[in-house]
Amino acid sequence: MDIVERFINYTKFNTTTNKENGLKGIMPSNPTEYELAIFIKDELSSLGIKDIILQDNAILIAKIPANCENAPSIAFFAHLDTSSEQKNDTKAKVVKYTGGDICLNEEQGIYLKFSDNPELKKYVGDDIVVTDGTSLLGADDKAAIASIVNMASFFMQNPNVKHGKIVICFVPDEEQGLLGAKALDVNLLGADFGYCLDCCEIGELIYENWNAADCTMVFKGVSAHPMNAKGKLVNSLLLAHKFISLLPGGEVPECTEGKEGYFWVKELSGNSAKTTLKIDIREFDEVKFQKRLEFLSDMANSFNKIYGQCCDITLKTRYENVFKFLKDENSLPIKLAKDAFSELNITPNIKPMRGGYDGAAISAKGVPTLNLFTGGNNFHSVFEYLPVSSLKAASEVIKKIVINAAK
C-alpha cells in the first residue's frame, strides 16, 4: 500500500483527544483511538508481524525480530490522538501544488495563503495533503504512524536486509500531558533507545526539550461581611494577585525564546475565601529549573510568615529534558539520526523544543528517545498540510536508521 493511502486511511478515524475524559482517568479518552489501534493492529498483522500486543488503554506494541546479531533494538513511537482545537471529521485530499494560494474550500472561501506560509515555495511541483479547511489534518501524529508502518512493511517484504529488533509503539492521548506515554510499561518494549516522530517540517531533529513542572497554589482567606470587614476580612483573591505581582515580569512565554525559561500564570479561580492559582514552570537547564522551583517554594513560605499560613503549594514535575538521558551529542541515537539525514541529503534543523513530547516521558523510564520530523506543517490548525515528499522522507529516515544500526 502507498504511504499516502495509509495516511489518508488513518485520517478517517476522528481521534480528537477528550480532555474531560482524560481528567477522569479514562484512557483512551476517545474510543475512536482504540478503533484506530485495532485498524493498525490488523494492518501490521497483514504484513506478517506476529508479536503484537493491544492493551485495553489503546497502547499498541508490535515487534519485528532481529535478523542480525549485536544490532541494537530500536523503538519507534507515535500517538493516536489529535489535538482538541478542532473536533470536525477530517476530509483529506491531495492537491498538486503549482504555487500561490491553495483553495481548501471554495464554498466557504477558505484558502491556505502563500503570504502566511512562504515556506510553500519549497513544495512547488509537489503533491500536498490538505483538508477542506474545517478540521485538523491530523499529520500530528498520523503522518508518523504512516511513516512507521511503511518502514515496517519494507523490512517485512525484504527479509534479507539486516536489522536489529524493531519495536513499534503507538500510544493514546499525547495531546493532554503525554498520558499514554506515562502509562506505557517500557519493560514490554525491550528497546535500547527510540525515536518519536512528532516534529513538524522536514529536517527537524529534537534532542532537547523543557524540564517542566506544574505549580498549584491554594490561597486561604478569612470571610467577613463587608459591613464590618475592617481588620477581619482577608481576601484570598488579592493574596494571589500579590503573589503573581512578585514573579519576574519578563520571564513569561510571550517575552522569551530559545532556551530562555519562564513562569506561566495559567489559571486563577476562586473567591475571597479560597483561590487556586496554577503556574507552569519551564527551563532547559536542570540547575536553573530547580532554582525556579525553589523560588516559588520560598515565596510561598514568605507569604505564610507574613500573612499567617495563608497558602499551600504543590510542585509536581511533568517531564524532564531528554538530553539528560542521551548524555552527549555523540551518543549513538543522535549519531544514527544525523547520519541518516546526511545520506538522504536532508539538512538537519536541530533546535531545542519549547514543549514536551512522548519521548520525554519514555526517556525518563529508561529508553532514551529523540524526536524526528513527520513532514507536516501548521500543527493544531485547520491550515495544517503535509507535503508528500516530506512524508516519504520521514519514513526513509527511520528506515535508514535501522539499516545503519545493523552495519
Pairing of strands 74-79, 193-199: parallel
CB 40 within 8 A of CB 60: yes
**Cis bond before residue 116 (omega within 30° of 0):** no
Q: Which amino acid is at 63?
A: K
In sequence order, which residues have a C-beta less than 8 Å from that of residue 327 and are 6 or more positions away?
A: none
CB 154 within 8 A of CB 64: no
Rounded distance between C-alpha atoms, residue 208 and residue 326, angstroms: 9
For residue 212, the 8-state DSSP code is E
320 assigned to active site: no
Q: Which residues pair with 170 in a beta bridge?
A: 60, 78
69 assigned to active site: no
DSSP string computed for 350-383: E--BSS--HHHHHHHTT--EEEEE-S-BSTTSTT
Name which of 287, 74, 84 is nearest 192 in CA terms. Answer: 74
Q: Which residue is catalytic, options 33, 43, 81, 320? A: 81
Rounded distance between C-alpha atoms, residue 193 and residue 86, angstroms: 33
Q: How far is CA 173 from the centre of its chain?
A: 10
Name which of 124, 125, 123, 93 is nearest 110 in CA terms. Answer: 93
DSSP string computed for 65-133: --SSTTPPPEEEEEES-B-TT--SPP--EEEE--SS-EEEETTTTEEE-TTT-GGGGGGTTSEEEE--S
Rounded distance between C-alpha atoms, residue 370 and residue 174, angstroms: 16
Which segments within 106-222 are labelled E, that is strand? 110-112, 127-130, 166-171, 193-199, 204-206, 211-220
Q: Which residues pair with 282 in a beta bridge?
A: 212, 262
Q: Which residue is catalytic, options 140, 173, 174, 192? A: 174
Active-site residues: which are they?
Answer: 81, 174
